Chain A
Amino acid sequence: MLFEQTTNNENRETNPLPFAPPVEITSDAIDLETLNAFDGLQADDGSDLVVELIDLYLQDGSERIEAIKLAVAKADGKSLKVAAHTLKGSSSSLGACHVAEISATLEQVDPVECPHRVDVLVELLSYEFARVKKVFGVERQRRLA
């Protein structure tokens, strides 16, 4: 798994993400099957539920990531846990598996005891969220076209 390789190197004095990967649009960022399951719930008024859910997710997800960063800066374990838990729930609901996994790990980590691990996870989370954002953006355009 993506984050496990990084979190196992807790004692190494390295930058959180030394490789600075480019944000790519790849299909593994989300599980499209999960997203397509919502097609059966479309409303009769012509609005696209998936587009609504994507918009909600992207807005709320950005806010949760900001809340996570703030909690890490303040070493506030409780707030970190709450924000990571919520992001995990919404991400898994929409098939953003990697974001959900990283959030689940962040939920369990104490920012005071493992500050470096938390930093790495937050970086990874931002990266994965950016990937999801791109994929969702494309999917959104496709549906609105």
Chain B
Amino acid sequence: MRILIAEDDPVSRSILENLLGKWGYEVTTTLDGAAAWSVLQEPDAPSLAILDVMMPSVDGLEICRRLRRTPSSISPYIILLTGKHGVREIVKGIEAGADDYLTKPYDFDELRVRVQVGVRIVELQTNLAERVSELEIALSHVKQLQGILPICSYCKKIRNDRDYWQNVESYVTDHSQAEFSHGICPACYETTVKPQLELILQSPSVASTSAIEPCV
């Protein structure tokens, strides 16, 4: 997983790069808030970001607010990492839209497990988004066969969205995942097929009968 670090202090930045690299993450680093915001706007943006609160140009809190205002199916998991201590600062960070908050100096193991929580949440979000997408596609198929369909009383063709009268079989096939196999029901066999067969059999040119059995 790729993780974004936004940190203007070179010492803290280097420590984070080394820690995350050692834990097997791919790291993208920015030196200020504007660059971090730009990276987070890319199509393949990192799904987890560790942001310093106080940075040049755009601070970490503002990045959180902007991200939460932006409609997106998957929004990045944000950990604010800062020297600002105190409950009020933590509340401010979480209210701005951060998912987690760590103060400097931090314990390496604490950061590691908090990053792991973030990775777990991101993976859950991704799986959930994929399932929602699959369900939306399935639902769109179901919806297409709902509502009132105009059907011809005689030939049973259905008028489709393009005002074209379509055979009921092809209409259902186009608007669902159903397919048709063809046969003859007993009633139709008696009323339609059997009389025609008898007519054929009565014809002198036919030497033998065909064995057509009805579908049961």
Contacts and interface: CB of A to CB of B under 8 A. Distances in A.
Interface string A34-45: 100110110100
Given A89-B104, A90-B11, 6 more contacts: A37-B108, A41-B22, A56-B10, A89-B52, A92-B83, A93-B15
A89 B104 CA distance: 6
Interface SS, A side: helix
Contacts of B83: 85, 88-89, 92, 104
Contact of A94 (B11, B18, B19, B108): B11
A49 interface: yes
A41 B18 contact: yes
A38 B105 contact: no
A75 interface: no
B105 A93 contact: yes
A60 B10 contact: yes
12 contacts: A38-B18, A56-B10, A60-B9, A60-B10, A82-B56, A85-B54, A86-B9, A89-B52, A89-B83, A92-B105, A93-B12, A93-B15
A53 B11 contact: yes
A56 B17 CA distance: 14
Contact of A92 (B14, B52, B56, B104): B104
